[in-house]
Copies of this chain bind each other. A is one copy, B any other.
């Protein structure tokens, strides 16, 4: 499988790493990079991650066989509104966004007939950022979720699956709605919870000492994801609002049970709850 022209919109860690995979596997004759930041694109060009650059996404996608949306999910709708009418018939549009659900339905409705949208979400490490950190091996042994709908073209779906398999990822197929419920739980909720922890604790101080100056490795691990981009996570939470709100409720319910057990001094109940959690965590690889 070789694409003549691939356009990657948003050449960061994920977009850049995917570009490297496409090059290494000979799956793209030429790769165009598009995005708002001229600096990023120039760096990507200099590093050889892309062959051509352009800040104008509309021009960058013309005649592209494969277009990859690798920008924050909050930008998907306006970008697709812009580029949709300029995608060629038979083009495949895919994305790497961490929200699917309603967003997938929105993108589908904005595309002209004959353009094939295949929603995807590779679960790749995001502690580092930017094209300079991109590596061809980023997706190896990772999972990549694809969330086809009843409108998804099966040939395009297979092409996108092959792409991620070539990147070393294991494909999991689920509905856009299931995806959003799962990721509200395992990703969006933890981010909200880590942000809330930092807000709760960072303002506390004892004289000149900040409370967080006394934090150890546990607090640092727990709050590491709170360093993530506030804009990106705002958009993710908004795009998956209902599930995120439900998960916060679920989490608060458990917190309240623990709080009450501690308040009452109910040793058996505290231990039962903590042990359930600890067993589950130890059971993870």
Contact = CB atoms under 8 A, between A and B. Distances in A.
A24 interface: no
Contact of A225 (B182, B196, B222, B249): B222
Interface string A216-257: 111111111111111101100110010011011111111110
A241 to B, nearest CB: 5
Interface in A114-150: 123-127, 143, 145
B187 A282 contact: no
Interface bracket on A: 35 or more
Contacts of A225: 218, 221-222
A274 B241 contact: no
Nearest to A227: B281
A195 interface: yes
A228 to B, nearest CB: 7
Contacts of A194: 222, 277, 281
Given A185-B211, A198-B280, A233-B274, 9 more contacts: A182-B211, A193-B197, A195-B273, A199-B276, A218-B225, A218-B228, A220-B284, A226-B278, A226-B280
14 contacts: A145-B214, A172-B214, A182-B211, A185-B201, A200-B250, A200-B254, A212-B284, A221-B222, A227-B278, A228-B278, A234-B271, A241-B263, A245-B259, A249-B259
Interface of A: 123-127, 143, 145, 172, 174, 178, 181-183, 185-187, 189-202, 204, 206, 209, 211-212, 214-231, 233-234, 237-238, 241, 244-245, 247-256, 258-259, 262-263, 265, 267, 270-271, 273-278, 280-282, 284
